Homo-oligomer: A and B are copies of this chain.
């Protein structure tokens, strides 16, 4: 995004407690079925009537769809990191149900920042990303580690 107006953040710009928030993205029935048809083809994700007998009691989005929506929102509207948002891994990821018509948004917080011992030109930030629906219920709770370079 070359015209991105958000300031770039480098390792020395990050500190625990920094927060950010994104706008909303609506999750339609068609979007749930399309994502799941390709990546998680199970009736309670792909068929509007297919979740009735499931533990969900109705159609719900694949958790990986919720994760992908979260990433899209954060890449486009969350904290902008110098060199891009490079995830190293996830230490905790939990899901709640996402149903057709839900509107998701993300609230993020930096929880830890540390410099690499072996590569002092970079570091690792631990970030908590909470994905909420229009009623404020958690659709996803994620703690991940991202690679953050020092300012060049």
* A contact residues vs B (CB 8 Å cutoff): 1, 38-44, 54-56, 62-64, 67-69, 71-72, 75-76, 83-95, 147, 149
Shortest Cβ gap from A41 to chain B (Å): 6
Q: Is the interface of A mostly helix, strand, loop or mixed?
A: mixed
**How many of these chains are in the complex?**
2
Q: How distant is the Cα of A69 from the Cα of B85 in the complex, in angstroms?
A: 21
Shortest Cβ distance from residue A34 to the other chain B in the assembled complex, whole angstroms:
10
Task: Tell me which residues across on chain B come within 8 A of A54, comparing CB atoms.
Answer: 83-84, 86
Give me 12 other A-B pairs in contact (C-beta within 8 A), A44-B84, A56-B86, A90-B92 excluded. A38-B72, A40-B72, A42-B85, A54-B83, A64-B68, A67-B67, A68-B68, A88-B94, A88-B95, A89-B92, A89-B93, A90-B90
